[in-house]
Every structure is written in C-alpha cells, then in structure tokens.
Amino acid sequence: MAGFETTNTDFLIRQQIWAETLKEVFEDNLIAKQYVDWIDFPDGEEMNIPSVGQFEAADYKEGEPVKYTSVDTGNFKLRVTEYIQSGTYVTNKMRQDSYVMDRIMSTMPNRLIYPIEKRMEVDILSVVNSGQTAGDVNAINGAAHRFVGGLGGTPGRITPADFAAVRLAFERANVPARNWIAIVDPSVEFDLNTLTNIVNVSNNPRWEGIIDTSIAPTGMKFLVNIYGFDVYVSQNLPQGINEIITTQVGSPSVNNGVANLFMCVDPMAQPIVGAVRQEPRLDAEYNKDLQREEYVVTARWGFGFYRPESAVTVLTERHSANIIA
C-alpha cells in the first residue's frame, strides 16, 4: 500500500505553509503587544519576579555612626492563565462542490489567527483596569491613577484637563517623561474632535513612522498628541463599566463606561508584564469518520499589572451615535 496519496500530501504541505503564515501574522499585526514587557517563561504556570524598593538618604553628623536602613523587597507573581483556541473544518463535499473553495482555503490562516489576535489585544488592554481598585482613585504620591473624566467640563466626557491630570500623576510618581501614550475609545475620539478648544492642543506626533490614517487589523489607529501623550483609538478597551469613584471629589460616576488607558511604555517603566507560554500553533488532521479536514490553532499566555505608577485609567461614558442624529 502506498505511503502517500494526493490528498494527504496536499494536506501536509498546506499544514506547513499555514503554520508559518500564522506565526508571521501573529508577530506583525498585534498592536498592543509592543506595550508589554515580555518575560521569558521557562516552565510551569507561575513565575516569581522579585522587586527591590528605593534606598533612603539621611543627614550625617561628623563623629556619629552611620545609620543603616533596610530596603523593602517584594515578590510579584506572573501567571499563565489563558489557553485560547480557534478551529474550523472543511468537508470533502464542500471542497468538491464549491468553485471558490481554493480561495477560501488560502484565507484560512488569517481567519483562524484573527480571533486569537483580538483576544490577546483585549486581554492586554484590560490588565490595568482589572488590576486597579474599582470605586477608588488608586492614589500614588497624592495623585489619582483612576478617575472619571470630564475635569472642568461634563463628568464622563473627556477634556484636555484630564490629560493634564494624568501628566501630574505621572510626574508625582517619578515616571520617566518619555514614551507616554493614551489609548481611548472611539467615543472619546469624537469628543476630542469636537472640542471647541482643540486648537490649543498640540498635534505633533513624536514617534517616527506613525501614520495617523492607518488602521490595524485589531482596530487601533493613531489620532493626535495631547500634552505629551500619543493618542491611539481602539475598540478593544474594557467596556460596560458602571462605577462610582467615591474617593474622587464629587463622587462622579459612569454608566456603560469605558476604561481609557494611559501608560508610560518606556522600557524602564512598562506597567504590563506578560509571557507567551505557547505561540499560536496549528494542528490539523483528516477525520475519516466525518469526511473532513479539521484545523485548530491554540495559544497560551498570561499578563500582570507590574508597575501601577506607570498607568492611569480615565473612565468616560461610551455614548451612542444618537448624540449626532
């Protein structure tokens, strides 16, 4: 009996090509991935990352012994928590009867990887929101790192003062004054585009190679620079938030809100750490009982909120399109 037939030879070639394509798509198209401090994860599901506090300075008097102070240490646990899959199949009858089947099969790698890309994007953009304490300003050095937007205006509707407040929070936390970004919801983009004082806001991108009209496959685009923050627009931020910030002046609230994310993504201060335990991997086989080829892509990863001082959440109302009807 022959070891290979036309059908399974084609199947093996397709599997190899698709696996390479999946890897390329995953590495190139994922946008939020560049804002993560990636950690090499050797084995297991949990990694311990030690942290060391700051040393202190004190006055010294001649003839007196030097005072030695202890340094605070801590331990941060990074866990691989997500095991994601995307699968499909193609029956023999479908391949035989459909004249567009070859075209469909050629697009299959992108169709399989897209939901995994989107899921990772959503996971990355939700790390800060889930890591902060809801209903609290999460103050660091006296400045809020979570608050309802609309300072100096309508609560829940973004204003330039919100960007100034985030800038203050970063400066009080001694966050490096470089590589600051804001990722906002399309409803916030609408508010920014219709502000009467938008002419007073800087519109100078600081990162070379960014095109303000580009839209990534996962739905993020560059918009503008405001008070030192490169502003991006994404539809993958945490949504449906109903929250009252009781420790904020006036105890403002949001209903059906969105958690807009402000971060310092400098390599020395990235707030999000992550590890991919398994890159997207394609498994394929022919199911003789069901007379079909089956394809599944799986991946594993985990993320953690490592530097709270380098991130701020600004909650806004995710208003609907009827405001312009």
Which domain CATH number covers 221? 3.30.1930
In a domain, residue 53? The reply is: no
In a domain, residue 193? The reply is: yes
| 136 shares its domain with 40 | no
Closest CA to 301 of 119, 177, 29: 119
The HSE-up count of residue 126 (CA atoms within 13 Å, CB side) is 14
In this prediction, residues 210-233 reach a mean pLDDT of 70
| 151 shares its domain with 183 | yes
| 235 shares its domain with 137 | yes
In a domain, residue 228? The reply is: yes
pLDDT, residue 206, reads: 47
Number of compact structural domains in the chain: 2
| 121 shares its domain with 259 | no
Distance CA 218, CA 216 (A): 5
| 35 shares its domain with 167 | no
| 14 shares its domain with 106 | yes
pLDDT, residue 28, reads: 58
| 84 shares its domain with 165 | no
pLDDT, residue 215, reads: 45
Confidence of residue 303 (pLDDT cuts 50, 70, 90): very high
In a domain, residue 60? The reply is: no
Residue 114: how many other CB atoms lie within 10 Å: 15
Domain that holds residue 226: 132-272+307-324
| 107 shares its domain with 80 | yes
Q: Yes or no: say if 277 and 302 are a contact pair by the CB < 8 Å rule.
A: yes
N-to-C CA span, the chain? 70
How do residues 38-91 score in pLDDT, each as one tens digit? Answer: 888 777 777 676 655 555 676 777 788 877 666 555 566 778 888 999 888 888
| 294 shares its domain with 223 | no
Q: What is the mean pLDDT of the chain?
A: 81
The residues near 60 (Cβ < 8 Å, ≥ 6 apart) are 66
Residue 293: how many other CB atoms lie within 10 Å: 23
In a domain, residue 197? The reply is: yes
| 112 shares its domain with 168 | no
Q: Which of 3-7, 211-215, 317-321 has the highest mean pLDDT?
A: 317-321
